[in-house]
Structure 1
Amino acid sequence: MKKNIIVQFLILLILVAIFITGISLYNLRTVSIKSSVTSAESISEVIKSGLDLHIKDNSNVDEFLKSVSSMKNVKDLWLVKSDLISSQFENSKFKDPKDDLDRTVLRAGKTKYIVSEGFINTNVRVTIPYNANVTCLSCHNVKEGQTLGAISIVLDVSTLKEIGIRSIYVIITIILLAVIMVFLFSKKVFNPYFSLYTKLRDNINQAKVGKFINISIPPGLSSEVVQVTKDYNNLITIFKDTSLDIDEKLQGFVGYRDKTTLNTNPLNESKDIIDNLSNLYQFKKQVELDNTKNEIYNRIAQVFENKFNLKNFTFFEIDIKKQKMERIISVGESLFCYDSIKDNPHLCRAARTKSDVISIDFHESCPFFNKKDKFYYCLNIDIIENLYLIVHFVTDTKEELEEIKNKSLFISRFLKEARPAVEVKLLMQALEESAFKDGLTQLYNRKFLDENLKILIPQIKRDKKNIGLLMLDMDHFKAVNDEYGHDIGDKVLKELSRILEENVRESDILVRYGGEEFMVLLIGVDSEESALAIAHKIGAKVRENEIDVYAGTTIKKTVSMGLSMFPEDSSSFETVVKNADIALYEAKSNGRDKVVRYTKEQKTSVELF
């Protein structure tokens, strides 16, 4: 800045000197011309008077004109006659006009001049009209005021010009000396302010990268500026302490610092943190309003894609107690370890160690990640007891992996903010399941059946599919309770529910209908033959199953089953249930351990009772 001000000041001085010089030269030229015209008019008056006198006395006019021509600065002089005296004085000293200037003056009767400027010499040519007066009327046949002739005089004004130029030189020298003195004095006065400005500029640049430094006050400043500088130093100190304190405290809320923004203004970092906290707050409010766990996971995935620009990641849940793994969300290419751990979720290192797992350069932290040209980062979040959410990130480069590591704390913060909402959804799901599931066998109960049939039956009719309805009853179950006790009876029912779950599809519905009676809904079964095949398979598995009762003693049980098809047997599902119950009664009446297909020839439920 100092150099710029000096250069600008010098340019200003030069422009001022040029302006003054130009004005002086213009004034010099104007004054010289006016002075020359005035001198010429004075000389012409002398000539007019001399001519009148010499003409009256018949004296020598040539000598008179010669004496006038010898005057200082007069380079040339001649007389011009007009047409009015040409005929009267053919031999007079007045000559014919030399040029257009002479002719113009003779016509107009007014003084005219022209300037001839050279590099060294400057001449002014002035032509003054000679108008007739009272004296002239006695000799000339003209009217008073008519132009009889003109006097042309050429004056050399170089001397005046030289004097003026010397004056200009003196003026310019004085101005420049005065300007230099002012400049040197100003420089001495302004130097402390330049120094203060430089320090202020440097300190502001340092503050942009988080370095707050007080300014040392240079000598020579006014008391007001010194006080302002002290106030600035106090402000910087307060700003430094406050911004660092805010940054430190806000950092505790978020637990995340982007390493790419280190050494920046803490206030800017605090602003970023506040923005992040605002985003977290809005995110938390949104997930609290989501209906299901999957909606929450989808919202988290959107945050990962849109805020963190993550392209390849997978969400999966691992239930350690049940040894069950469920992939929930998958974006891009990821989870290259899925085939290795899907049937053995306890092998997942993140779930087993309850800690993050990161790809390492010189050895593999996870032996089941089978993509050698990729990098991975696994986050483990405890949802509820024995249930973990594993977020598996995959990157193509180490730089992308480092970026995820830098953001991992903030990513985890989003997951932790969502965890209570997920936990609530799981608890609600568990509560809902407890209302719809049998506490002993964990199969659905009759309440679940009644609620879901309202949705299931219209869908089956719309899709034109079948339901094979099996009614099952444990044979001689009361004898088990009487002989071995209710604990063994409960164990027998649990074993039956296990066999049912293992031998039907996930789309089929298992219901504990009451006591030792069970219902199996074979959804979308192809035909009654397929339904009977499943029923016989279940009967065989039950028949083969040995149940430990005590001290190495085992028992085997059998089941009786009745089958009815919906909507083949009836368009009313309640009627189909009754039909299956009738077929079950038929199986028990005919020796048990059988599967009976309902037919219209069988007794009606009214006849049974």
Structure 2
Amino acid sequence: MRKNITLYTIVMIIMLSVTISIFSLYNLRKTGIKSAIHNAQSISEVVKSGLTAHMINGNMQDVDTFINSASNIKNVEQLWLVRSKFVNEQFASSHLKNPPRDDFDKKALATGKMQYKIEEEITSTTVRVTIPYNAVAEKGIDCLKCHQVEQGTTLGAVSIVLDISTIKEIGIESIYVITVLILTTIILFILVSRRLISPYLRLFDKFKININQATHGRFKGIVPPSGLSAEMIHITEDYNNLIQSFKDTAVDIDKKLQGFVGFKASNKNRNPLKDSKEIIDNLSNLYQFKKQIELDNTKEEIYDRLAEVLRNKFNLKNFSFVEIDMKKHKMTTMKQCGESLYCDETLKNNPEVCRAARTKSDVMSVQFHNTCPHFESDKLYYCFNVDITQSLYLIINCVCDTQEELEELKEKTVFIKSYLKESVPSIEVKLLMNALQESAFTDGLTGLYNRKFLEEYTKKMLPQVKRDGTNIALLMLDMDHFKAVNDEYGHDIGDKVLKELARILNETVRESDIIIRYGGEEFMILLMGVNSDEDALSVARKIGDKVRENEIDVYAGNKLKKTVSLGLSMYPEDSTSFETVIKNADIALYEAKNSGRDKVVRFKEEQVSSVDLF
């Protein structure tokens, strides 16, 4: 900065000096030209008076001598006399013709006005002035007495060439003087600036450095250099007090914000201003996130929103959301982005071995040994554990390509966990809502859907089936002689038999099929999208075979075997009314039980009349 100020000042002095020099030279030149013209006019008056005297005295033969003597005047290079045609015609016998030498003379004679021009060369400057003589009739001089012309007629002119090179010499001398003055001024300025301005420039440099450091979180005071005025020292002290106050405030805010979010910075050279701003931004974004997830309908929507935060805010590319239910020994992948979850196959079969869920803590890659033995990849990982309920855990598995990427993720964990922490209550609410909904739509004994679920499900299912043009095979199933089980073994064994039947049905049909406990020992199975009734009959026979082969422990080593009867009806083949299809399957079931039990019967139209007659 000091160099810049000195340089700018020197440049300004030089520019000002050059400007003054140019202006002075211009004025000097202009003044010299005016002076030369004035001198020419004075000389011309002398010549005019001499010519008049010679004419009156009748010694015109001495005019040339007079003109030559006038030419010897200082700074006059040339002087000659020019006569107009009127004078030459009147005095034709005279030897003094003096015609115009050039167009410049002719112009002066023609216009009757003074003409001048400047001729400049490198070493000299001359002014050519041609001054006309006009006929006048005044007291003391009456040209009309001798010349037969009208008043105002141009009788002749005097052309004078004056040397004004001295003006240029004076200008050059001025340039020398100004140059010396400029150099002297610059030297004096440098000497003065070092003594007077230098302390202020050093103070300015310190201000600049300290302000730059303050923007990076390093607050320091300034020691004022010697040579400053009392006012500047007072200003420096005020600045130091301001910086100290700002430092105390910034550090205090930073510590409180860190304590609020549970963040501890490890870098000593950290910037508290930047960190505080980052924390405040995260808190603001976190508040907006919390308000949004409270309005989401399902936990899947919450997971989608959380995934967007990880992707867009924290720049994570590869991560998965996994729910692990320790109670049900079940692992469910809820969300997957990029390449991650290299322990998927292990967790599907044994979800309880997940280290993050088992230890209820985060798990990450460390050098020299594998933290989690079930992560089957050489890539780096970080697994967040989130306790949803006592037995349900949300595991977020993040995969990193480099150690630097993992370190960056570690620095963001506090803020990521803030989002996870805010998500837990909303996820838990959605789980409770699902549990309430499931309790309303499921059978408490077998865990299968109930009749209420069937009523709600068919409202959405049937329009979809009609649009897709698919078939539904409806099986009505009833356990044979179930009342005898309750009578002989008691209701506990009866409940056990129904649970076993539910287990067999779940294992036999597809996940897309729907199993409903219709009432008592009666069950309904919806086989979705079957190709034909033969396929449905095949599934029904398989169910009958598995039930027949299954042995149920009752007590004291006794085994119990049961059989089931099934009735089949097809939608929309048998009827476009789903209620009618249910009724038809029930009629077929009645036919199966009435014809000996332990069999599958396909509904036929003639069965309706036999049931009605019965």
Same fold (TM over 0.5): yes
1:422-461 map, 5 Å: 422-457=427-462, 459-460=464-465
Segment drifting more, 572-581 vs 186-195: 572-581
Maintained 8 Å contact 2:474/2:524: no
Distance 2:110 2:527 in 1: 133
Seen in structure 2, the aligned counterparts of structure 1 residues 109 and 448 have a Cα distance that, compared at 3 Å, is: closer
Distance 1:236 1:247 in 2: 16
Q: Secondary structure at the match of 1:470?
A: strand
Establish whether residue 119 from structure 1 lines up as the match of residue 126 from structure 2.
no
Aligned partner (choices 62, 69, 72) of residue 70 of structure 1: 72
What do residues 269-315 of structure 1 show as CA deviations (whole Å, max 9, x unaligned)? 33333222222222222222121222222222233333333333322
Aligned partner (choices 138, 147, 154) of residue 161 of structure 2: 154
Establish whether residue 405 from structure 1 lines up as the match of residue 410 from structure 2.
yes
Shift of residue 422 of structure 1?
1.4
Unpaired runs of 5+ residues, structure 1, are none
Distance 2:107 2:237 in 1: 80
Shift of residue 197 of structure 1?
1.7
Residue-pair matches, total: 604
1:79 — aligned with what? 81
Establish whether residue 129 from structure 1 lines up as the match of residue 132 from structure 2.
yes
Establish whether residue 282 from structure 1 lines up as the match of residue 281 from structure 2.
no
Seen in structure 2, the aligned counterparts of structure 1 residues 541 and 554 have a Cα distance that, compared at 3 Å, is: farther
2:569 — aligned with what? 565
Seen in structure 2, the aligned counterparts of structure 1 residues 174 and 527 have a Cα distance that, compared at 3 Å, is: closer
Q: Secondary structure at the match of 1:429?
A: helix
Seen in structure 2, the aligned counterparts of structure 1 residues 281 and 163 have a Cα distance that, compared at 3 Å, is: closer
Establish whether residue 326 from structure 1 lines up as the match of residue 332 from structure 2.
yes
Seen in structure 2, the aligned counterparts of structure 1 residues 93 and 588 have a Cα distance that, compared at 3 Å, is: closer
Distance 2:120 2:575 in 1: 129
2:504 — aligned with what? 499
Shift of residue 556 of structure 1?
0.6
Task: Give the aligned CA root-mean-square deviation in angstroms.
Answer: 3.5
Establish whether residue 203 from structure 1 lines up as the match of residue 210 from structure 2.
yes
What do residues 112-155 of structure 1 show as CA deviations (whole Å, max 9, x unaligned)? 33333333343333333334454544444334443333233333
Distance 1:473 1:45 in 2: 153
Distance 1:438 1:410 in 2: 42
Distance 1:423 1:115 in 2: 103
TM-score, length of structure 1 as denominator length = 0.86
Q: Secondary structure at the match of 1:289?
A: coil
Q: Secondary structure at the match of 1:235?
A: helix
Unpaired runs of 5+ residues, structure 2, are none
Seen in structure 2, the aligned counterparts of structure 1 residues 19 and 469 have a Cα distance that, compared at 3 Å, is: same
Shift of residue 225 of structure 1?
3.9
Q: Give, as a single letter, the amino acid of the residue that structure 1 aligns with 2:214.
A: A
Establish whether residue 269 from structure 1 lines up as the match of residue 271 from structure 2.
no
Q: Give, as a single letter, the amino acid of the residue that structure 2 aligns with 1:414.
A: Y
Q: Give, as a single letter, the amino acid of the residue that structure 2 aligns with 1:330.
A: Q
Aligned partner (choices 192, 208, 214) of residue 199 of structure 2: 192
Distance 2:86 2:232 in 1: 85
Shift of residue 327 of structure 1?
2.0
1:364 — aligned with what? 370
Q: Secondary structure at the match of 1:367?
A: coil
Q: Secondary structure at the match of 2:349?
A: coil
Maintained 8 Å contact 1:578/1:605: no
What do residues 85-110 of structure 1 show as CA deviations (whole Å, max 9, x unaligned)? 32426445563333333333333333
Shift of residue 563 of structure 1?
1.2
What do residues 144-203 of structure 1 show as CA deviations (whole Å, max 9, x unaligned)? 443333233333334455456546655665576467546644554332322222112111
Q: Percent identity?
A: 56
Seen in structure 2, the aligned counterparts of structure 1 residues 128 and 229 have a Cα distance that, compared at 3 Å, is: same
Distance 2:166 2:521 in 1: 141
Maintained 8 Å contact 1:17/1:176: no
Maintained 8 Å contact 2:442/2:449: yes
Q: Give, as a single letter, the amino acid of the residue that structure 2 aligns with 1:155.
A: L
Seen in structure 2, the aligned counterparts of structure 1 residues 198 and 492 have a Cα distance that, compared at 3 Å, is: same
Establish whether residue 95 from structure 1 lines up as the match of residue 102 from structure 2.
no
Q: Secondary structure at the match of 1:468?
A: strand
Aligned partner (choices 305, 309, 317) of residue 311 of structure 1: 317
Q: Give, as a single letter, the amino acid of the residue that structure 2 aligns with 1:504.
A: V
Shift of residue 530 of structure 1?
4.4
2:240 — aligned with what? 233
1:107 — aligned with what? 110
